Amino acid sequence: MPYAFGDCHVHIDQVTAIVEDERPLTAVGLPEMGPVQQAIGTHVAELIPDGATIQIGFGAIPDAVVMQLTDRKDLGVHTEMIGDGILTLVEAGVVTNRLKTAFPGKSVATFALGSERLYRWMHRNRGLEMHPVDVTNDPYLAGSNDLLHTINATIEVDLAGQCCSESMGYVPYSGTGGQSDFVRAANRSRGGKSFIVTPSTAKGGTVSRIVPTLKPGAHVSTSRNDVSHVVTEHGVAHLRGKTNAERAEALIAIADPAFREQLGEQAQEMHLL
Output the pLDDT for position 57.
Answer: 78
The mean per-residue pLDDT over the stretch 199-223 comes to 95
> Helices 257-269 and 244-253: crossing angle, nearest 10°?
160
Catalytic residue chosen out of the listed positions 32, 80, 129, 166: 80
80 is catalytic: yes
Output the pLDDT for position 31.
Answer: 74
For residue 108, give the amino acid letter: V
- d(Cα 90, Cα 67) in Å, to the nearest integer? 11
**pLDDT tens profile 117-172:** 999 999 999 999 999 999 999 999 999 999 999 999 999 999 999 999 999 999 99
Q: How sure is the predictor about 28, in pLDDT bands with cuts at 50, 70 and 90?
A: confident
CB neighbour burial string for 10-42, b if at least 16 within 10 angstroms, e if fewer: eeeeeeeeeeeeeeeeeeeebbebeebbbbbbe
Question: Mean of the per-residue pLDDT values for the chain?
Answer: 94
Q: How sure is the predictor about 244, in pLDDT bands with cuts at 50, 70 and 90?
A: very high
The mean per-residue pLDDT over the stretch 88-100 comes to 94
Q: Is the pLDDT of residue 251 over 80?
A: yes
- Percent of the chain exceeding pLDDT 70 equals 100
Q: How sure is the predictor about 64, in pLDDT bands with cuts at 50, 70 and 90?
A: confident
The mean per-residue pLDDT over the stretch 210-233 comes to 96
Worst-scoring range by mean pLDDT, 57-71, 174-188, 255-269? 57-71
Q: Quick one: 12-269 is in which CATH superfamily?
A: Acetyl-CoA hydrolase/transferase C-terminal domain (3.40.1080.20)
The mean per-residue pLDDT over the stretch 226-250 comes to 96
Output the pLDDT for position 219.
Answer: 93
More confident residue, 60 or 94: 94
Q: How sure is the predictor about 51, in pLDDT bands with cuts at 50, 70 and 90?
A: very high
Yes or no: say if 81 and 57 are a contact pair by the CB < 8 Å rule: yes
Q: What DSSP string describes 11-50?
A: -GGG-S------SPPP---PPP--HHHHHHHHHHHTT--T
For residue 195, give the amino acid letter: F
Backbone angles phi, psi at 117, to 5 degrees: -60, -40
Output the pLDDT for position 65.
Answer: 85
Output the pLDDT for position 19.
Answer: 94
- d(Cα 242, Cα 250) in Å, to the nearest integer? 9
Q: How sure is the predictor about 67, in pLDDT bands with cuts at 50, 70 and 90?
A: confident
CB neighbour burial string for 144-171, b if at least 16 within 10 angstroms, e if fewer: bbbbbbbbbbbbbbbbbbbbbbbbbeee
Output the pLDDT for position 224.
Answer: 94
Output the pLDDT for position 61.
Answer: 81
The mean per-residue pLDDT over the stretch 39-67 comes to 89
